[in-house]
């Protein structure tokens, strides 16, 4: 049994109780993924599982068997991901603890939006071209908390990367 983490094969731990978060941080030294609440409330541990955002604290490593995990480290391809650069330019963090989860979550959130998936604040569920308004964006990112209060900068960074710039 094995999974792929940032393109590299990794054996699934023999202990089925190991969370994906602990596998990443404690056994693979991928400490970019953060442990905040460890109970699904803060979003700091968000990673991509086959491109979808998941809370790695609530995901068992064994559930990722045969699947592909991407962490914040895996988003870097030679240079910083455009959204990482935008977080710097738009002051999207203070302490930075929530930032890897925010960025992984936003990368997947944008794909959900592009597929036309509605959110809790989408007015017209039949709308195939939902506008990523301020309310839509904040609702779709509401699972990722920032205790420093950098939410305005986070929203600005996402808008600059995916709405203003358009196609990244
Ligand atoms: S550490 Fe996973 S949601 Fe908070
Ligand atoms: S930047 Fe500190 S918790 Fe978000």
φ/ψ bin of 166: left (φ > 0), alpha (ψ from -120 to 50), beta (otherwise): left
Q: Nearest ligand to the C-alpha of residue 154?
A: 2
How close is the Cα of 145 to the center of ligand 1, in Å?
10
Which pLDDT does position 167 carry in this prediction? 44
Residue whose tokens read 């995901």 = 59
Would you place residue 165 in the very low, low, confident or very high pLDDT band (cuts 50, 70, 90)? low
Q: Rounded to the nearest whole angstrom, what is the distance from the C-alpha of residue 100 to the centroid of ligand 2?
A: 10
DSSP 93: -
Per-residue model confidence (pLDDT) at position 166: 56
CATH topology for the 82-164 domain: DNA polymerase; domain 1 (1.10.150)
| Strand pairing class (46-49; 52-55) | antiparallel
- Composition of the chain by helix, strand, coil, percent to 5: 40, 15, 50
Ligand 1 center to 128 CA (angstroms): 32
Q: Which DSSP helix (H) or strand (E) runs through 101?
A: helix 99-114
User: pLDDT over 70 for what percent of the chain?
Assistant: 98
pLDDT digits (tens, 9 = 90+) for 74-101: 999 889 999 999 999 999 999 999 999 9
Q: What angle do CA 144, 148, 153 make, to 5 degrees?
A: 70
Fold (CATH) for 2-75: Ubiquitin-like (UB roll) (3.10.20)
Rounded average pLDDT over 133-142: 96
Choosing from 147, 156, 157 the residue with most ligand 2 atoms within 8 A of its CB, the one to mutate for a pocket test is 147
Q: Domain boundaries in the chain?
A: 2-75, 82-164
The pLDDT assigned to 116 comes to: 93
């Amino acid at each position: 049994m094995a999974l792929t983490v940032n393109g590299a094969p990794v054996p699934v731990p023999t202990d089925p109780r190991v969370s994906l978060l602990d596998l990443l941080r404690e056994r693979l030294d991928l400490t970019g993924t953060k442990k905040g609440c460890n109970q699904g409330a803060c979003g700091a541990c968000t990673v991509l599982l086959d491109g979808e955002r998941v809370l790695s604290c609530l995901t068992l490593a064994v559930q990722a068997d045969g699947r592909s995990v991407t962490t914040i480290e895996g988003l870097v391809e030679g240079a910083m991901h455009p959204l990482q650069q935008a977080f710097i330019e738009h002051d999207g963090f203070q302490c930075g603890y929530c930032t890897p989860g925010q960025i992984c979550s936003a990368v997947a959130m944008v794909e959900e939006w592009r597929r036309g998936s509605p959110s809790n604040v989408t007015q017209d569920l039949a709308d195939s071209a939902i506008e990523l308004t301020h309310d839509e964006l904040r609702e779709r990112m509401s699972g990722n908390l920032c205790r420093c209060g950098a939410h305005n900068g986070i929203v600005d960074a996402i808008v600059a990367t995916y709405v203003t710039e358009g196609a990244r």
